[in-house]
Amino acid sequence: MKLLSKTIVASALVVAMIGGAVAQESVATLRSGVALDENAKPPQIPAMTNNDLRQVRNYPEQPPLIPHKIEGYQIDINANKCLQCHSRSAIGESQAPMISITHFMNRDNQFLASVTPRRYFCTQCHVPQLETDPLVENTFVDVDQVLEYVAGQQKEEK
Ligand code: HEC
Ligand code: HEC
């Protein structure tokens, strides 16, 4: 019995060690192949995308990406820089898109007169982008492509 549990512990250890080695390898790829005990040359900090072009949403519920710089924009109990342009009353002057009606709805589905507390911290959901290449490969496809694929499959079945 004792021997059996020792074997189990030993094999668990081997599995953990192999797992660790694999994890180490995948971390190393983000370090451009530089060994873990050496300092890699830090990459240049990329610029924040600031082209003012609204981006296509990948699916209807996606919070739209921020197409402008937000460095130093204050969002706390005293001030919300975003609302200085995106609130209902500000858009005449700023010509920014207004926060949508969902941003006025509290958790009991009641519409408030101003932004609901659960939508106050804009950057919880909305993020700016950086002018850089993705660090890892990404095979995400747009929902339109998924629909096309499903339609194709259904045709084949008929
Ligand atoms: C100085 C005014 C101003 C401020 C401050 C500002 N925005 Fe904007 N925002 C705009 C304008 C104008 C646009 C329209 C596109 C453009 O011109 O960049 C825009 C576009 C956006 C969009 C894209 C909307 C869409 O439908 O694609 C998002 C999201 C957004 N802003 C979020 C924010 C957040 C979050 C903050 C605060 C961190 C913020 N903005 C602060 C003016 C502003
Ligand atoms: C909990 C997540 C969340 C938070 C917090 C949030 N948003 Fe949004 N926002 C969304 C989603 C999801 C959408 C797209 C669907 C919709 O309109 O509700 C959106 C849409 C928008 C749009 C586009 C509206 C349109 O009609 O095209 C703007 C502009 C925007 N948000 C700005 C803001 C600003 C400014 C804040 C902070 C005061 C904020 N959002 C906080 C999730 C969020």
The pLDDT value recorded for residue 8 is: 55
Q: Which residues contact 122 (CB under 8 A, 6 or more apart)?
A: 75, 80, 82, 86
The pLDDT value recorded for residue 149 is: 95
SS3 content of the chain, % helix, strand, coil (to 5): 40, 5, 55
- Residue located nearest, by CA, to atom 22 of ligand 1: 66
pTM, to two decimals: 0.83
Q: Which residues line ligand 2 (CB under 6 A)?
A: 61, 63-64, 80, 82-83, 86, 97, 99-100, 102-103, 115, 119-122, 124-126
Detail the residues annotated as belonging to a binding site for heme c. Answer: 68, 82, 85-86, 103, 122, 125-126
The pLDDT value recorded for residue 147 is: 92
pLDDT by 10s per residue, the chain, length 158:
455 555 555 555 554 555 444 544 555 567 778 888 998 888 889 999 999 999 999 888 999 999 999 999 999 999 999 999 999 999 999 999 999 999 999 999 999 999 999 999 999 999 999 999 888 888 999 889 999 999 999 999 87
Question: How many Å separate Cα 118 from the centre of its chain?
Answer: 18
Which of 50, 86, 95, 126 best tests ligand 1's pocket when mutated (most atoms within 8 Å of CB)? 86
The pLDDT value recorded for residue 1 is: 47
- Residue among 47, 45, 50, 53 at smallest CA distance from 130: 47
Q: Which ligand neighbours the alpha carbon of 51 most closely?
A: 1
The two structure tokens encoding residue 149: 């694929």
The pLDDT value recorded for residue 42 is: 84
The pLDDT value recorded for residue 100 is: 96
The pLDDT value recorded for residue 11 is: 56
CA of 96 to the centre of ligand 1 (A): 6
For 76-90, how does the pLDDT look when each residue is reduced to its tens digit (9 = 90+)? 999 999 999 999 999
Are 57 and 125 in contact by the 8 Å Cβ rule? The answer is no
CA of 143 to the centre of ligand 2 (A): 20
